[in-house]
């Protein structure tokens, strides 16, 4: 990916966040919005409390199976969590939330 910032300004360029950090923040936000504790969600997801805590803090990379289990415990689809993470990461890099014209269906009249 080409750096679009002049060299003297590159230190001010946005840094793409780590996927595991954004994923952890989304999972934690969901859990807290439901008023649930780490203990409750870890029990429902059948994962250790310590490991879930590390995932939420962005310190561990969760497998797809573990993410699915956590999402089921939070009663949200995995695709929704991944979309939320994607949206958050795109905001940092100022990616517009649009679909390219060549991917839009052609209206038939």
Whether 54 is in a domain gets the answer yes
Answer whether residue 97 is part of any domain. no
Assign residue 78 the CATH number of its domain.
Answer: 1.10.260.40
The pLDDT score that the predictor gives to residue 83 is 95
pLDDT at site 108: 62
User: pLDDT by residue (tens digit) across 56-80?
Assistant: 999 999 999 999 999 999 999 999 9
48 lies in some domain: yes
Nearest CA to 87 out of 98, 103, 76, 101 is that of: 98
In a domain, 103, yes or no: no
* Domain housing 83: 19-92
> Do the domain assignments include residue 105?
no
Distance CA 67, CA 76 (A): 11
Residue 70 lies in a domain: yes
> pLDDT below 50 — which residues of the chain?
1
| 44 located within any domain | yes
pLDDT confidence of residue 1: 45
- What was the pLDDT predicted at 17? 79
According to the model, what pLDDT value does residue 84 have? 94
């Amino acid at each position: 990916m080409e750096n679009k910032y002049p060299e003297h300004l590159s230190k001010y360029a946005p840094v793409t966040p780590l996927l595991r950090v954004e994923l952890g923040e989304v999972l934690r936000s969901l859990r807290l919005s439901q008023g649930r504790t780490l203990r409750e969600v870890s029990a429902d997801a059948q994962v250790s409390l310590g490991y879930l805590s590390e995932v939420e803090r962005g310190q561990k990379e969760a497998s797809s199976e573990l993410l699915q289990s956590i999402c089921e415990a939070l009663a949200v689809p995995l695709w929704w969590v991944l979309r939320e993470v994607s949206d958050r990461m795109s905001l940092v890099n100022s990616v517009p939330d649009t679909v390219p014209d060549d991917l839009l269906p052609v209206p038939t009249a």
